[in-house]
Chains A and B, each alone.
Chain A
Amino acid sequence: VQLVESGGGVVQPGRSLRLSCAASGFTFRSYAMHWVRQAPGKGLEWVAVISYDGSNKYYADSVMGRFTISRDSSKSTLYLQMNSLRSEDTAVYFCAREDGEAGYILNSWGQGTLVTVSS
């Protein structure tokens, strides 16, 4: 299992950024996927989840209405569209694969991509 995040960088407040997570080594379309972030020197914060078929999506209150999670199974890629970015969105963003049938068990993680929101 390999998950490789990309798309991070420096962006001004109020602007947008799209993160990608390229998956390999497993049948991507069979697994729900998550985004989790970690601000510098801080703890883990769950961001969003998308079901294996993309039909269900849930978000943390802190990103609801600004971030959109999506997936393209033909490309084995997970996305996070981030709009109206704020300084508090500065973090390393990890994608993770969910294992099991319920309970949000995150058994495989990428190495993360850093997003810095600053003017």
Chain B
Amino acid sequence: QQQVKQSPQSLIVQKGGISIINCAYENTAFDYFPWYQQFPGKGPALLIAIRPDVSEKKEGRFTISFNKSAKQFSLHIMDSQPGDSATYFCAASGSGTYKYIFGTGTRLKVLA
């Protein structure tokens, strides 16, 4: 019940295209859902985060869509660029603890 399932494992997108990464969770007590970007050899960097009281949040080219009833949330990267090539992790937190439960990651490659 503490797991966060992330898909796809890897994704290849053409420059200018839309990258979509999906996550699903079981624990309805989770109340915070961040997305992180990680480059090889670096720590994860926060991209965008959402709480369950909203269904969508947009920051620049990055949008989180949140479906509370389906217990799913997704990251959309608009106008994907080669510099976006990285591994993306979704996470969830709440239920009386502040730790994050991370998904297994999606390796994104944007072709020039």
Q: A and B, one complex?
A: no
